[in-house]
């Protein structure tokens, strides 16, 4: 069970998913807000904690066997490091499409980096240019 977390992490399904994940990402919606929960090693998350900027980009990847929307994050730190994280939303999943549609409407995202505890929280306002790209992608999918 995660320690030092907020009430919405008391979701038993989420707890199980996170406990089985060594590294990776889980998209999660709580109270009509979008969260990406990146689980990683402590050393890498420590590098992120002094971030100065985060760029996000969306790209539609059309593959018959695995059609996805890639969300790519480039995190720049005070130590002049560029750290990249990605998540590939499966476009055939109604849950993940709902996540993307909510993201498009809300235009912001909560990103949490964690090991067994939350180590870094970032609130990201998604730039208008990327919202337009996400709109185009979602229009093509609907």
- Letter string b/e over residues 86-116, b meaning 16 or more CB atoms within 10 A of that residue's CB: ebbbebeeeebbebbeebbeeeebebbbbee
Tokens at 138, concatenated? 């979602």
At 64-112, the pLDDT tens digits run: 888 899 999 999 999 999 999 999 999 999 999 999 999 999 999 999 9
15, 3 contact by CB (below 8 A):
no
In whole angstroms, what is the distance from residue 122 CA to residue 108 CA? Answer: 11
- The Cα–Cα gap between 26 and 87 comes to 9
Higher-scoring residue by pLDDT: 10, 82: 82
- What pLDDT sits at residue 9? 62
Would the pLDDT of 1 be above 70? Answer: no
Choose the weakest-confidence range: 53-62, 86-95, 114-123.
114-123
- Comparing 3 with 69, the larger pLDDT belongs to 69
Global pTM value = 0.88
Q: What is the pLDDT of the chain when averaged over all its residues?
A: 90
Query: What are the angstrom distances between the C-alpha of 65 and each of 24, 68, 80, 90, 92?
Result: 21, 10, 38, 11, 10
Contact indicator for 132, 95 with CB cutoff of 8 Å: no
Report domain extents, the chain: 7-141
- Is the pLDDT assigned to residue 3 strictly greater than 90? no
The pLDDT-based confidence of 131 (bands split at 50, 70, 90) is very high
Q: Is the pLDDT of residue 4 over 80?
A: no
């Amino acid at each position: 069970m995660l320690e030092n977390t907020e009430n919405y992490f008391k979701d038993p399904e989420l707890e199980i998913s996170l406990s089985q994940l060594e590294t990776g990402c889980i998209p999660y919606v709580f109270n009509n807000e979008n969260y990406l929960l990146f689980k990683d090693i402590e050393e890498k998350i420590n590098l992120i904690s002094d971030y100065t900027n985060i760029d996000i980009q969306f790209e539609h990847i059309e593959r018959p066997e695995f059609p996805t929307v890639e969300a790519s994050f480039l995190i720049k730190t005070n130590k002049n490091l560029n750290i990249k994280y990605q998540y590939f939303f499966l476009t055939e999943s109604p849950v993940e499409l709902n996540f993307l549609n909510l993201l498009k409407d809300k235009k912001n995202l909560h990103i949490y980096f964690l090991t067994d505890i939350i180590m870094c929280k970032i609130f990201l306002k998604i730039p208008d240019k990327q919202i337009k790209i996400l709109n185009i992608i979602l229009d093509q999918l609907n």
